Structure 1
Amino acid sequence: MTIASIIRNKTAGIIKVAPQTTISEVVLVLAQHKIGAVLVMDGPELHGVLSERDIVRAMARQPSGVRPLTAESLMTPARALTSVDATISDAMQMMTDKRVRHLPVLEDGAVIGVVSIGDVVKALLDQQTLEVENMRAYVGAS
């Protein structure tokens, strides 16, 4: 199973913000879409990923407030990317190695979406469930 299968099943398109978007605006986007991270992009160019975790950590460092800061100032640079052809296992390994929870997905060099650790775990569980059901059907037919 590949990342393409996860991207195909996601209903939302790319949720992104511009680098100069304020954290106040980012928080609204996260809440509106019920997501934990957004891509920070300038047109088609990916700058990084901004997650709830990035915002909370900044709040701990700057108790006076982070709302007027920009997405670019708090984002995590895109240090881990995956392609639509990558396997679910490859994505999980990259997330573990790079200690990230969100992977931007590229196809032909362009960002086409993002997968979260939750997406990857769900896909892996779905795959294992299907394999177990197939084995039970095979054993039952024998």
Structure 2
Amino acid sequence: MKTLKQLLAGRTRPLAVVAPSDTVYHALTVMAKHEVGALLVLDGEQLVGIFSERDYARKIILQGKTSKETQVSEIMSDKVAYVTPSVSLDECMALMTEKHFRHLPVLDDENNVLGIISIGDLVKETISDQKFLIAQLENYIAG
């Protein structure tokens, strides 16, 4: 069973992060540049929150705030669930489905940030694994 450590090992692009003092507008530009739906919020090296499109929609748009005047710290989710690199993709997907999370940070045993996993990452990997298995079965059947 593949683990998050194995999935993260294949990543080449840098982790997209913001600081709690950054404006929401800045965070949105980072999200657009990196084509992601969530950002980890780091105070130095310490994970202090996560900022997502959902946070923006619920806490800026619906409350009539402005993204250029609001700091990320005011609207980020600061009670952050996370997973460790030893967690399997299936376990991670089950947790995300059960808790309705679309993104989860991956932290090591010393709470160092290793990356972030999205439900889309897990779905893509699952589809890839299934295609491989189907090809193997087709080859076996064809003899």
| TM-score exceeds 0.5 | yes
Quote the Cα distance in structure 2 between the aligned partners of 1:64 and 1:93: 34
The aligned counterpart of 2:92 is 91
Structure with higher RCO (Cα < 8 A, 6+ apart): 1
The aligned counterpart of 2:119 is 117
Per residue, is there more strand in 1 or in 2? 1
The residue type equivalent to 1:129 in the other structure is K
Quote the Cα distance in structure 1 between the aligned partners of 2:127 and 2:104: 19
1:73 aligns with 2:74: yes
Instruction: Go from structure 1 to structure 2 and tell me whether the alpha carbon gap of 1:77 and 1:99 turns closer, same or farther (over 3 Å shift).
Output: farther
Moved >4 Å (runs of 4+): none
Deviations 1:87-123 (A, max 9, x none): 1111111111221100101223311110111001001
The residue type equivalent to 2:131 in the other structure is T
Say if 1:59 and 1:65, in contact at 8 Å, map to a contact too.
yes
The residue type equivalent to 1:139 in the other structure is I
Give percent identity, aligned residues only. Answer: 33
Say if 1:80 and 1:94, in contact at 8 Å, map to a contact too.
no
- Structure 1, 84-93 or 56-65: larger mean CA deviation: 56-65
Q: Helix, strand or coil: the match of 2:104?
A: strand
Q: How many residues in Structure 1 have an aligned counterpart in Structure 2?
A: 141
The aligned counterpart of 1:138 is 140
Q: CA deviation at 1:78?
A: 4.3
Structure 1 unaligned runs (5+)? Answer: none
What is the CA RMSD across the aligned residues, in angstroms? 1.5
Q: Helix, strand or coil: the match of 1:30?
A: helix
Say if 2:3 and 2:86, in contact at 8 Å, map to a contact too.
yes
The aligned counterpart of 2:64 is 63
Quote the Cα distance in structure 2 between the aligned partners of 1:76 and 1:12: 24
Q: Helix, strand or coil: the match of 1:58?
A: helix
Q: Helix, strand or coil: the match of 1:96?
A: helix
The residue type equivalent to 2:105 in the other structure is P
Q: CA deviation at 1:60?
A: 3.4
The aligned counterpart of 2:14 is 13
Quote the Cα distance in structure 2 between the aligned partners of 1:21 and 1:80: 22
Quote the Cα distance in structure 1 between the aligned partners of 2:73 and 2:65: 19
